[in-house]
Homo-oligomer: A and B are copies of this chain.
Amino acid sequence: MAQVQLFGLWGSPFSCRVEIALKLKGVEYEYIEEDLSNKSPLLLQYNPIHKKVPVLVHKRKPIAESLVILEYIDETWNERNPILPHDPYERATARFWAKFIDEKCIFALWKACWSEEKEREEAAREASEHLQTLEDVLKDKRFFGGDMIGLVDIVANFIGFWLGIIEEATGVKLLTEEKYPKLYKWSEEFVNCSAIKENLPPRDKLLAYMRARYGVSITY
């Protein structure tokens, strides 16, 4: 049994967060792909409360919830590529925005793309508000973490990569260069950053999955 194992799902932004963090830290790990329609006994044993990926197992001890795992990785492999800043106030700020993205943005963006037409307008309004907030937070920094990828960037991977694919699959356009030039530029920097690029799922496969989910043929 490898010292570090990750139970994940290839298309999940939450699993991907943990992969990015492990790669940033240079941690070797065994990746175990889960089948959510037939969850493994080990996943259910390791995460009996939520029964969800990702689960990180380190020295046979499981940790669930991606935000909790990211903090654990940063504290355990603390010699290179800090995920959280050193200063307590900056750490609090990073945690605040990570929580905001996790609890508010992703849900609003998802709803703005997938919900029924009558609900979509209200969801799009809310999503736009959140994107504007992040545009203002980013200011003229390269990444939310400054010059380097940090907690907020990792947690925002849904916006940096998944959102563009869902937009393409559904025809909904939210993150445009015209409306959010800084966030748009960030998303380009994000997917082209080597630590990220190597750990994202294949774009075509994810697009096909999203299109199939949306009920549109991939040959459309």
Contacts and interface: CB of A to CB of B under 8 A. Distances in A.
Nearest to A96: B68
Contact of A72 (B58, B72, B91): B91
Interface stretch (A3-11, A35-43, A59-67): A59-67
Number of copies: 2
A89 B61 contact: yes
A63 B92 contact: yes
Name the prevailing secondary structure of the A interface residues: helix
A85 to B, nearest CB: 11
Contacts of A64: 96
Interface residues of A, number: 23
A99 interface: yes
Interface string A90-115: 01110110011000000000000000
Contacts of A171: none
Nearest to A93: B63
B68 A95 contact: yes
A1 interface: no
Interface of A: 49, 58, 61, 63-65, 67-69, 71-72, 75-76, 88-89, 91-93, 95-96, 99-100, 133
Question: Which 5 A-B residue pairings sit nearest by Cβ, starting from the closest?
Answer: A75-B88, A72-B92, A68-B95, A63-B92, A76-B88
